[in-house]
Every structure is written in C-alpha cells, then in structure tokens.
Amino acid sequence: MGEWAYSELRDEIPLLLSEMLDASRRIAHIVEDMKDFSRPTRAQQLGPFDMNEAVEAALRLAGSTVRKATDHFVADYGAGLPAAYGDFQGTVQVTVNLVTNAYHALQGKDRGIRIRTRFDEDRNRVVLEVRDEGVGIAPEDLPRITEPFYTSRREEGGSGLGLSISSRIAMDMGAKLAFSSTVGKVTTATLEVPVFQEKD
C-alpha cells in the first residue's frame, strides 16, 4: 500500500507543480491589471502618430502568443492612412488588450483572428478593428464588458480590467472603443481615433 501511494504521489507531483505555476502566473497577471487600473492615469503624450506602427508595436509584444493560439491570423494594414491624433503608447496598450481578449475567446486553432486598419473618410477617423471567430458575447453582456472587474474568464484568471483600462485610455485621448458580437461566431472590437489636424 505504501509503495502504491508513493507511486501515485510521484506521478501527481509534476501535475501539481504545473498547476501551482499556472495559478501563480494568473495571480501575477491579475495584480498587474489591478495596479494599472488603480494607479492615476499617466499623462498621455498626445500628438500625431501612425496607426499601423502602433499595431506593429503591439504585435511585437503579443504576436507570438496569438500565433500559438490560431493558425489563421491576418493583419491587414490600410495603405496611405492619415496620421491619427492621440497617444501612441496608449494605443499600443489598447491593441495588446484587444488582441489578448481575441485569442482567449478562441476555442481552437482553426478559428481565426483578423486585425485591420483603415480610414473612415465620412467620420474622419483612423480605425482599428480586431475581429475574432471566438465564442462571442451575449447581447445582455455587451454593455457591461468595459465595466471594472467584469469578466467571463474568472476561473481562468481573468481580472476583468483589460477592457476597462482600454476604454479609459480611449476616452482620455478622444477616441471611441466599441464592440459588436454574434454569439458562437464572431466578435469585433473597433477603435476609432481622430485624424490629426494641422493648425493654421
């Protein structure tokens, strides 16, 4: 009996250690999100910037993880975009948060993520879209997803702060962050940033 118990324990130890490591990583992620949320908003560096460069910077941070989550990742950069007016680093952070939410929503590597930048001439906005073929968001939940601590991933370590932080960053720089979703099919996050206007 003693040998059997030891053998079973020996087999379980690697699994237990792995679960402990995963849990510690989730806790660290939650703590970092809470620190970002609770600290005073940093002084934004508002000015003209290239939206495509902001997306490229975000993908340097999150791209490898995204490519592990899906075999169908596309980044479609609009050509000849006018300069956006806002906070470059803030836009990078928002993009990372949106991409992170997108790959967490996927249920398999056969489901895709598409990032697209474009110019909306009618609204005079530079637009970033992050579209995922994930689980989707129920209509009753859509109005709440930018509320602090609201998350559908509580058991997986989600803090519910990433989209709240992103919404605050967007609002502080005069941009708009919106979401649309069809449950079980697709979710699209859209960031609209004002175009830089030269002063006379």
**Domain limits, the chain:** 1-39, 44-194
CA-to-CA dists, residue 49 to 63, 90, 128, angstroms: 21, 11, 13
Averaged pLDDT score across all residues of the chain: 82
Question: Which pTM was predicted?
Answer: 0.75
pLDDT in the model for residue 147: 83
Class of domain 44-194: alpha beta
Percentage of residues in the chain with pLDDT exceeding 70? 72
Confidence of residue 16 (pLDDT cuts 50, 70, 90): low
CA-to-CA dists, residue 42 to 36, 68, 89, 186, 189, angstroms: 10, 32, 11, 33, 24
Query: What is the tens place of the pLDDT at every residue in 126-184?
Result: 999 999 999 999 999 888 888 876 665 444 444 457 798 899 999 999 999 999 999 99
Percentage of residues in the chain with pLDDT exceeding 90? 56
pLDDT in the model for residue 148: 74
* Phi, psi for residue 125 in degrees, rounded to 5: -130, 145
pLDDT in the model for residue 36: 47
